[in-house]
Structure 1
Amino acid sequence: MKHKKATISDIARTINVSSITVSRALRGEDGVSKELRDKIIFKAKALGYKKSKNNVNILILHEKTNLQDNPNFNFTLQCIETNLQNRNAEYSIEFVSKDKQNQKELPYKLLKGNYFDGILFIGRFNEDYINFLKSKVKCQVSYANYSPSLDCDTVRFDAANVTYKQCIYLLDNGHRRIGFIGNLSTYILGEKVLGMKAAMNKYKLQINKEFFIDNKADDFNKKLLKILTLEDRPTAIICQGDLTALKVIKLLHENNIKVPEDVSIIGKGNQEVASISIPALTTIDINIEYSCNSAIDLLMKRINDSEKPYENITINGFLIERDSVKKLTKGEYA
C-alpha cells in the first residue's frame, strides 16, 4: 500500500506554523528565522517531503535596457512568462547591466537572500558572470547566446541555418552578388558565413567579403552607399535582423535607391513591423514561442537532474516571403 506523499500543509500542521511560512522556508526566502527554517527543513525530510516538479522558483535575468527597442524581446518575455505560469512556477524578472556583470555584482533578488531553483539568462551575458552565478544557483540555461567555451545548457537560433535560407532564397530568385549587413565582430558571424557558403556552393559561387558591412561602424552609411554605386554592386543584401533591414531600407529611400527595384533586402526575426513596412519585408521567422518553451523545458530538466551533461539546442527558422526581394531575369544577373 502506497503512503500518501507529505505536503507543505502536513509540515505546517505538525509544527504549528502557516503553510506560507513553510513554503518560504523551503525556498530560502526572507521572513523566516534560521532556527525555524532549520526546524522546517528537518521536519520536511523526516516526513519524506519532495518538491513537485512544477513547484519551482525561477530567476529570469536579461540585459536589455529598453524592452521597447525590440518587439521580439517583449514577445520572448511574454512567452517565457506564459510557460512558467502554465506550470504554476514562481519567477522574478530582473535587468542586469554590463557594468554589474563586469563587476560581478549579485542580482538584487539574490542579494536579498531569495532562493531560486534555476536561472534563465536572456541575451549575451558575460561568460564570467554566468560562471560566477553558478556558485549561487547551479541550474542555469542561457537563451539566445552561445560560445564554444560556455559550460551551460543553451537554447539558441541556428545562425547557419537562418543565413543559408536567406541566401538560397536570394540565389533562387536570380541574385548572384549578395552582401551582408550586421555585427562583424561576434563569434556567431562565423556560423552565418558558413550558412552563406553552403548556399553559394550549391550555385558554384563564392562569397564576396567586400560586400560585408559592419552596421556598428561609424561610417556605415557611407560604406553602404559606396558599394551600391559600384559597377558590380550587390543586387541583394542579407541583414542580420529586421530592424537593421528596415533602417537600411529607410537610408536607401532617402538616397533615391529603390527596394526591391534597385536592390533587394531580406531580414530575420519576422517582427510585426516587418509586415507593415514599405515594401513589406521578406524575412525569416525564428520560432520564438517554440524556442522559449524549449528553454523552460531544458531548465526544468536541469533542475530535476543537475548532474546531466550540458545540452545545446538550436532552433531553425522558416521563410516569410513578402515584397522586398525582386526576382531577377537571367539578363539582370549575368
Structure 2
Amino acid sequence: MAITIKDVAKYAEVSPATVSRVIADHPKISPKTKRRVRKVMEELGYYPNFQARNLVAQKSKAIGVIMENSTTLAFQNPFFPEVLRGISVSAHQSQYGLYLSTSATETEIYEEVVAMTQGKRVDGIILLYSKTGDKVMDYLLENDVPFSVVGRPYIQPEAISFVDNDNVEISKQVVHHLITLGHRNISFVGGASDFIVSADRLNGYKQGLKEAGIPFTANYVVTQEMMEGREKQAIQQLMEQENPPTAIVTHDDLVAYEVISYLEDLDIAVPSDVSIIGFNNHTLSSHLKPPLSTVDISIFDLGVEAANLVLEKIKDDKAAPRNIIVPATLIERGSCQNL
C-alpha cells in the first residue's frame, strides 16, 4: 500500500498540513520540525506527488533556458554546458527542473518562448545571451514574465535582473597586459556585433588603447560579419598589412583556436611571431601548444546567479530587479610573448 501524507503526519506527530508545508519548504515551519518530518518521509519511503501539487498551485516548477541559437550549435561551445551546470545546481536546490529551447532560428525561438510561457510550461525564463533588438527580451519585459539574463541587457538594464562580467573593464586589462609586454600593434578579432558582450569587449579594447595613448586602427579589428565564410582570408589580410599586429585579442577561446589554426597555415608562429589571448578559459585552452592565455569569466557562477535571480522573481513577483557582476580573472600562459 502506498504511503500517504497522513501516514507521515502520524509518525512525525504533526498535522498533514504541516507535512505539506515542509514539502513546500515553508519559511514559517521551524528547521527542527522540517528535519523530523523529512526523516520520517525518508524512513517511510514517501515521495511527494509534485505534479499534482503543481497543478493545484498552477506552477510548473520548471525554468525555461534559452540559448542564442539551436542546441546543436550551442553545445559545440563549452560555455553552454558549464553555464547550464551552474543553473542546474541552483534549480535543483529549489526543486525546479529545466526546459531547454530546441529552436534554431530567431523566429522559432520567439514562438517557442511565447508557447512555453503562455502554456504555463515554465514559471520563468533565463536568457543565456543579450543582443540588440531581441524580440524575446521585449516580449518577456512587456508581459511581466519572470526572467533573468546572462549578459548586460540592451534595454532598461535597471528594470531587468541580470548577471554579467565587467566586459569593458576586463578587456581593458587584457590590452594593458599586452602593452606591458611591449606590444603596441594590437588587433581585436570579435564576435557578432549585435551581441552586447561583443560590443562591450570591443569597447574595452578601444578604451585600453586610448588610455595608453595608442591610436585606434580600424584595420586591426575583424568582426564575425567580416569573417563570415572567409575566415582564413580575413586573418591573412590582417597579417599582411604593412604593420601587422604583434598581438591579437580574440572574443572567445574558440575564436582563438581558429585564428591559431589559420596562422599556422600562414607559417606564422604563436607566440614568437604574434601573441594571442582569448576569453572564457575553456578546459582545452590549458592543453594547447603553447597553452592559451585567456580570461576566466567564472561561467559556472554566472549560471548559479542567473538561476538565483529568476527564482527570486518567481517566488516574489514584487522582488526588485538585481544586477550581479561576477569577477573575471586574466590567466597568463604561454601564448603571449614579451617583446
Aligned residues: 294
Question: Which residue, out of 312, 321, 326, partners 1:310?
Answer: 321
**Superposition TM-score, scaled by structure 1 size:** 0.76
Query: What is the Cα-based RMSD across aligned positions, in Å?
Result: 3.1
1:94 aligns with 2:124: no
Percent identity over the alignment is 24
What is the match of residue 312 of structure 2?
Answer: 301
Distance 1:208-1:122 versus aligned 2 partners, 3 A rule: same
1:214 Cα shift? 1.9
C-alpha distance in structure 2 between counterparts of 1:103 and 1:269, whole Å: 27
Contact 1:101 1:129 (8 Å CA) reproduced = no
Question: Which residue, out of 145, 162, 173, partners 1:165?
Answer: 173
Counterpart code for 1:185: S
Contact 1:138 1:306 (8 Å CA) reproduced = no
What is the match of residue 49 of structure 1?
Answer: none
Counterpart code for 1:211: Y
Unaligned runs of 5+ in 1: 11-17, 31-55, 329-334
Question: Which residue, out of 200, 215, 236, partners 2:209?
Answer: 200
Paired residue secondary structure (1:279): coil
Q: Deviations over 1:313-334 (max 9, x none)?
A: 3333101111111100xxxxxx
Paired residue secondary structure (2:111): coil
Contact 2:113 2:136 (8 Å CA) reproduced = no
Alignment of 1:63-74 (within 5 A): 63-66=69-72, 67-74=74-81
C-alpha distance in structure 2 between counterparts of 1:95 and 1:71, whole Å: 17
Distance 1:277-1:133 versus aligned 2 partners, 3 A rule: same
Contact 1:116 1:137 (8 Å CA) reproduced = no
What is the match of residue 24 of structure 2?
Answer: none
**Superposition TM-score, scaled by structure 2 size:** 0.75
**Which of the pair is proportionally richer in helix?**
2
Distance 1:5-1:146 versus aligned 2 partners, 3 A rule: farther
C-alpha distance in structure 2 between counterparts of 1:210 and 1:176, whole Å: 14
1:256 aligns with 2:256: no
Counterpart code for 2:122: F
What is the match of residue 47 of structure 1?
Answer: none
Question: Which residue, out of 130, 137, 144, partners 2:137?
Answer: 130
What is the match of residue 48 of structure 1?
Answer: none
Question: Which residue, out of 119, 122, 126, partners 1:120?
Answer: 126
C-alpha distance in structure 2 between counterparts of 1:241 and 1:163, whole Å: 12
Distance 1:102-1:110 versus aligned 2 partners, 3 A rule: closer
What is the match of residue 211 of structure 1?
Answer: 220
Question: Which residue, out of 255, 263, 287, partners 1:244?
Answer: 255
1:269 Cα shift? 0.6
Counterpart code for 2:184: R
C-alpha distance in structure 2 between counterparts of 1:80 and 1:176, whole Å: 40
Q: Deviations over 1:217-241 (max 9, x none)?
A: 3444223212322332111010000
Alignment of 1:1-334 (within 5 A): 6-7=17-18, 9=20, 20=50, 22-28=52-58, 56-62=61-67, 63-66=69-72, 67-101=74-108, 104-106=111-113, 109-110=116-117, 113-124=119-130, 127-133=134-140, 138-144=145-151, 146-149=153-156, 152-183=160-191, 185-186=193-194, 188=196, 189-217=198-226, 218-328=229-339
Counterpart code for 2:233: K
1:159 Cα shift? 1.9
Counterpart code for 2:178: L
C-alpha distance in structure 2 between counterparts of 1:167 and 1:101, whole Å: 39
C-alpha distance in structure 2 between counterparts of 1:156 and 1:22, whole Å: 37
Distance 1:184-1:94 versus aligned 2 partners, 3 A rule: closer
Contact 1:159 1:192 (8 Å CA) reproduced = yes
Counterpart code for 2:154: S
Distance 1:252-1:154 versus aligned 2 partners, 3 A rule: same
1:28 Cα shift? 2.8
Distance 1:90-1:176 versus aligned 2 partners, 3 A rule: same
Distance 1:128-1:108 versus aligned 2 partners, 3 A rule: closer
Contact 2:210 2:216 (8 Å CA) reproduced = no
C-alpha distance in structure 1 between counterparts of 2:112 and 2:180, whole Å: 50
Unaligned runs of 5+ in 2: 1-13, 22-47
C-alpha distance in structure 1 between counterparts of 2:109 and 2:326, whole Å: 29
C-alpha distance in structure 2 between counterparts of 1:198 and 1:134, whole Å: 32
Contact 1:27 1:115 (8 Å CA) reproduced = no
1:194 Cα shift? 3.1
Counterpart code for 1:80: I
> 185-194 or 99-108, which moves further after superposition?
99-108
